[in-house]
């Protein structure tokens, strides 16, 4: 009986399963430095080692740098290796040096040009919408691109269209900046500037020249330009100009009204038709001790200066007999003429021109004052012109007031030619100093044609204000009736100044000839059918997580939140997001391959998630990856597939 019980106990004991032995840890996760490993669980057949671990060669290190002391060095921006967060060797994220053109990139901030297109740094250009490549401002200046406009940054004058750089900014052209800019034809003169250009300067019309004469595109010297030039010996006289008065410089007698050039200076005479105090004259060619006595009512200093021997209030006074209604011996006619009475009127008897108020004595009879008698008389300012009743004088004629001149400009007692800066309406101008052959007229001024106006619009003979509906490019518009200041943005192909002028928000091309570009998926701007920057819509790639969307197809994850209208994370969006353990794997996504981060065993294809030398936990290769045989899903002996390290 006892033997039977003993046998039954033995049979029962033999049928109970023996406990399974504990599975050994994989070689690269056993906490020991195994065969081939250069440090604990890394190097050799295992994954690369972290900083500070022992190493035998660069490939043993996660940083790719094995120091001379056989230790894995920390990634740096000076080790000649692409490591850390760098986009390429020693450039990009974390480094002070940005990557050159042609280098891989994931963001524009990694590139020296600040342009990352299709994952590659683009070369800087003068129409990429970015201040790069040595430019002083966006797509201009720096000596590499066209000069910059007003308000742009600069470091030297040559960077600016105006050639004026003040306190780091380009200034607008002006007529007092001492350089040729804007529409000037020479330094601070011509065109819209008030000052006319000197002789020898370029010109487009007479209004550009101080002398009012433009010949073959060059300002010519004239006899009334207020400068000693040409053949003149003194200011606007001598040489080919009118003879000079007393004390003016001269070279030959013909330079002087009196015909006497003595020691380089014109000497006064009593017949030079000019007043000279140095000659003792009290009036033109009379008075003093050298010239004949003056007729009434000439100026005088003393009685001896007058034929009447009467000087009252510095003027020669008529004799008392000039009011006795009798023809006295010295008179040319009753109470007139003879130099001792006031000159006679038209029709009176005369013996000489001095007897007549017209200074014309024909057949011993005074001719009436007229505008065609070849003599300066009456109220004329010059021969048969000026004054109250005669036509205004041409340029060069003598004048007393602007009304004496055709140009309405009297300077230095001479009429000047019309210019575009004389503050008078003359020449071909439609309003004062504008229109016609002069600069454009501002709003509200008179015009004849549209070309007279700054706005390019002339209605009712008045220049109109620019508007966004006048069919003309004016005001702040870059093209006709469009741009940032109009309701309508400019379409692709139309001119633009800045991106906000364009419907596409992209303005490309050199400054001064930029045009609006068509929307694209590489212009760093949300435009066209895009839902966010260069993504979404039917034409571009799907957007990354949390960027804007309208429908699922706008997202790389194919998941657009209907309420937030933003792309939601997924296992196929190329981003580490959500509760993924590593990029698009682990958690709710497919398991991660060896070497990837993990939180728990289920995150790994091998179901082995182990810590690695104090650097978090990583998926480890399966035990079969160390048996010296190509088996399972391995692509070569102990490597490749979903369960082993990469070959």
* Confidence class for position 581, pLDDT limits 50, 70, 90: confident
Is the pLDDT at 213 greater than 80? The verdict is no
* Cβ–Cβ under 8 Å, residues 455 and 475: yes
What is residue 129's predicted lDDT score, i.e. its pLDDT? 84
186 forms bridges with which residues in the sheet? 189
The DSSP symbol for 394 reads P
What is the percent of the chain with per-residue pLDDT over 90, rounded to a whole number? 47
pLDDT in tens, 402-412: 999 999 988 87
The tens digit of pLDDT for each residue in 145-202 reads: 999 999 999 999 999 999 999 999 999 999 999 999 999 999 999 888 888 888 889 9
Tens-digit pLDDT profile for residues 280-316? 999 999 999 989 999 999 999 999 999 999 999 999 9
Query: Which run of H or E residues covers position 609?
Result: strand 609-611
Residue 424 resides in a domain: no
Is residue 37 located within the same domain as residue 70?
Answer: yes
Residue 112 lies in a domain: yes
First and final CA of the chain: distance in angstroms? 67
Q: pLDDT at position 306, please? A: 95
Residue 370 lies in a domain: no
Contact 350, 357 (CB under 8 A): no
Interval 376-386: pLDDT, tens: 999 999 999 99
Identify any residues that bridge with 39 across adjacent strands, giving them in sequence order.
Answer: 42
Q: What is the pLDDT of residue 580?
A: 87
Distance CA 219, CA 190 (A): 10
| 12 confidence band (pLDDT: 50, 70, 90) | very low
- Domain limits for position 112: 77-123
Q: Residue 298: inside a domain, yes or no?
A: no
Residues 85 and 101 in one domain: yes
pLDDT (0 to 100) of residue 7: 41
Is 476 part of any domain? no
Q: Which of 93, 123, 153 is the last residue in one of the domains?
A: 123
Number of domains in the chain: 2
pLDDT tens, residue by residue, 497-549: 999 999 999 999 998 899 999 999 988 889 999 999 999 999 999 888 889 99
For residues 338 and 331, what is the distance between their CA atoms, to the nearest angstrom? 5
Domain membership of residue 290 (yes or no) is no
Rounded-to-integer distance, Cα 183 and Cα 201, Å: 14
Check pLDDT > 60 for residue 123: yes
Q: Residue 70: which residues within 8 A CB-CB, separation 6 or more?
A: 54, 55, 56
- Let me know if residue 422 belongs to a domain: no
Instruction: Record the pTM.
Output: 0.46
| Domain final residue pick, 15, 44, 74 | 74
Last residue of a domain, one of 123, 149, 182: 123
Per the prediction, the chain carries an average pLDDT of 87
67 and 83 within one domain = no
Is 40 within the bounds of a domain?
yes
Same domain, 69 and 58: yes
């Amino acid at each position: 009986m006892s033997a039977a019980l003993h046998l039954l106990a033995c049979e029962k004991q033999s049928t109970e399963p023996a406990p399974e032995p504990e599975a050994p840890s994989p070689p690269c996760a056993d906490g020991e430095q195994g065969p081939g490993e250069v440090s604990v669980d890394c190097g050799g057949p295992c994954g690369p080692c972290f900083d500070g671990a022992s190493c035998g060669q660069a490939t043993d290190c996660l940083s790719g740098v094995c120091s001379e002391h056989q230790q894995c060095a920390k990634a740096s921006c000076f080790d000649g290796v692409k490591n850390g967060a760098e986009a390429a060797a020693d450039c990009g994220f974390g480094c002070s040096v940005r990557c050159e053109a042609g280098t891989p990139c994931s963001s524009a901030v990694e590139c020296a040009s600040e342009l990352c297109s299709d994952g590659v740094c683009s070369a800087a250009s003068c129409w990429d919408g970015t201040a790069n490549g040595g430019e002083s401002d966006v797509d201009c200046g720096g000596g590499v691109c066209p000069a910059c406009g007003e308000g742009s940054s600069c470091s030297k004058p040559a960077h600016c269209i105006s050639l004026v750089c003040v306190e780091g900014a380009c200034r607008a052209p002006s007529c007092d900046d001492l350089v040729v800019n804007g529409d000037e034809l020479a330094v601070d003169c011509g065109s819209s500037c008030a000052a006319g250009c000197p002789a020898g300067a370029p010109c487009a019309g007479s209004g550009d020249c101080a002398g009012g004469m433009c010949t073959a595109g060059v300002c010519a010297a004239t006899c009334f330009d207020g400068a000693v030039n040409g053949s003149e010996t003194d200011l606007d006289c001598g040489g080919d100009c009118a003879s000079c008065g007393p004390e003016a410089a001269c070279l030959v007698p013909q330079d002087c009204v009196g015909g006497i050039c003595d020691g380089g200076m014109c000497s006064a005479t009593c017949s030079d038709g000019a007043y000279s105090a140095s000659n003792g004259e009290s009036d033109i060619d009379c008075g003093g001790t050298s010239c004949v006595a003056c007729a009434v009512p000439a100026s005088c200093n003393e009685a001896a200066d007058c034929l009447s021997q009467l000087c009252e209030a510095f003027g020669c006074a008529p004799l008392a007999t000039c009011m006795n209604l009798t023809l006295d011996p010295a008179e040319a006619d009753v109470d007139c003429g003879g130099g001792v009475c006031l000159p006679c009127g038209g029709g009176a008897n005369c013996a000489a021109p001095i007897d007549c108020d017209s200074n014309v004595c024909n057949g011993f009879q005074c001719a009436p004052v007229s505008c065609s008698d070849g003599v300066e008389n009456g109220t004329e300012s010059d021969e048969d012109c000026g004054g109250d009743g005669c036509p205004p004088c041409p340029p060069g004629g003598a004048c007393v007031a602007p009304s004496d001149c055709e140009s309405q400009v009297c300077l230095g007692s001479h009429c000047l030619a019309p210019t575009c800066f004389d503050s008078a309406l003359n020449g071909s101008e439609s309003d004062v100093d504008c229109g016609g052959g002069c600069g454009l007229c501002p709003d509200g001024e008179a015009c004849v044609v549209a070309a007279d106006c700054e706005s390019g619009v002339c209605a009712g003979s008045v220049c109109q204000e620019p508007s966004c509906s006048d069919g003309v490019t004016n005001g702040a518009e870059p093209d006709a009736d469009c741009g940032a200041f109009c309701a309508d943005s400019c379409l692709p192909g139309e001119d633009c100044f800045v991106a906000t002028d364009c419907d596409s928000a992209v303005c490309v091309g050199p400054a001064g000839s930029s045009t609006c570009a068509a929307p694209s998926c590489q212009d760093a701007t949300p435009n066209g059918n895009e839902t966010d920057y260069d993504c979404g819509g039917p034409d571009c790639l799907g957007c990354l997580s949390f960027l804007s969307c309208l429908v699922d197809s706008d997202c790389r994850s194919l998941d657009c939140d209907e309420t937030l209208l933003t792309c939601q994370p997924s296992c196929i969006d190329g981003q580490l997001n959500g509760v993924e353990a590593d990029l698009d794997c682990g958690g709710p996504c497919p398991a991660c391959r060896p070497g990837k981060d993990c939180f728990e065993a289920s995150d790994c294809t091998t179901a082995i998630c182990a810590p690695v030398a104090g650097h978090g936990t990583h998926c480890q290769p399966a035990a079969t990856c160390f048996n010296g045989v190509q088996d399972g899903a391995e692509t070569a002996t102990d490597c490749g597939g979903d369960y082993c390290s990469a070959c």
